[in-house]
Amino acid sequence: MKTTDALPLSQPPSPRTLAQPPLTSNVTALPAPPAPSGVASILKTLAILEIVAERGGATAKEVSASLGYPLPTVYRLMQTLVQSDYLVHIRRERKFELGYKLHQLGVSLHRQIGVPAEVRTEIARLHRNAQAAAYFAVYRGADVVVTYIVDSPAAPRLTPLSFGFHEAAHATAFGKIMLSGMTGEQRDQYLDAHGLPQLTPATITDRGELERQLESISRSHVAWEHEEFVPGMTCAAVGVRNSAGLLVGSVAISARADSIAIRERDHERMLRETAAGLSRYFRSGSVRR
């Protein structure tokens, strides 16, 4: 079993482990350039970070060619990122890689969306019992965010689901559960911002059809999606509620459509049991009766 994507709040990494390691002869800081300003520069800087992350490192020329930005602009912005520890310059290979400050930001994000040990335990139990990848998602601001996943080689997660995934709520079971718990105004704002992109031939892209399905989910308290997010895969989810009865999260599983179909009732029962236990936790601090 592989558990990933969340750090326990009770055991935060020591600040000492986050300190920047000393520069070696292979990593060098560049002189501080004049600081660029303006929204355009910020957007360009973020695009540069994304390209370097995606490629596992890149030269200034590669970034310039990929983004279409002038080379002097790219080099100036990359120098600024190096000076701020968001990038490092690998002199021997003449390329830039991600810096240590980004790791600190990542750890802070995990702390802010930390998943309690009791929740992690129940999601792991669901994974074992259902023999399927198991997920926990929550509201974060206006988004539906995956905060914890337990999977294994025999029951892998859906690609591209990982910690922090917050897209395609209309096409995932855990997303539909969370959408069904929103007010009409909240749901309109979410769908207006995100749209209903078609991910597979089965994806619901009609607003009225989605609304009718969400009404049904509100009554049954379980959501299913059949090959709407990934072809050949099925996902199911049940909501988790707090002491006020408000939906605060959802538990979900995913598996191959053919394998989950023969155990659909069992999977639904396990999801409801897990959700009930986590709802008790969010009400009283205890999972079990």
Tell me what pLDDT residue 27 has. 43
Tell me what pLDDT residue 101 has. 79
Which residues of the chain fall below pLDDT 70?
Answer: 1-37, 103-104, 106-114, 288-289
Comparing CA positions, the residue from 88, 28, 85 lying closest to residue 57 is 88
| 3-state SS assignment for residue 164 | coil
Tell me what pLDDT residue 287 has. 76
Question: pLDDT tens across 126-142, in order?
Answer: 999 999 999 999 988 87
Tell me what pLDDT residue 112 has. 54
241 bridge partner residues: 247
Comparing CA positions, the residue from 53, 50, 99 lying closest to residue 79 is 99
Comparing CA positions, the residue from 25, 22, 29, 18 lying closest to residue 78 is 29
Tell me what pLDDT residue 20 has. 32
CA distance 20 to 17: 8
Comparing CA positions, the residue from 237, 28, 76, 254 lying closest to residue 161 is 254
Measure the CA dihedral 247/252/258/261, to 10°.
Answer: -50
* 0.75 exceeded by pTM: no
87 bridge partner residues: 98
Tell me what pLDDT residue 86 has. 85
Between the two ends of the chain, the Cα-to-Cα distance in Å is 27
Cis peptide bond N-terminal to 160, omega within 30: yes
Tell me what pLDDT residue 164 has. 84
Question: pLDDT tens across 181-196, in order?
Answer: 999 999 999 999 999 9
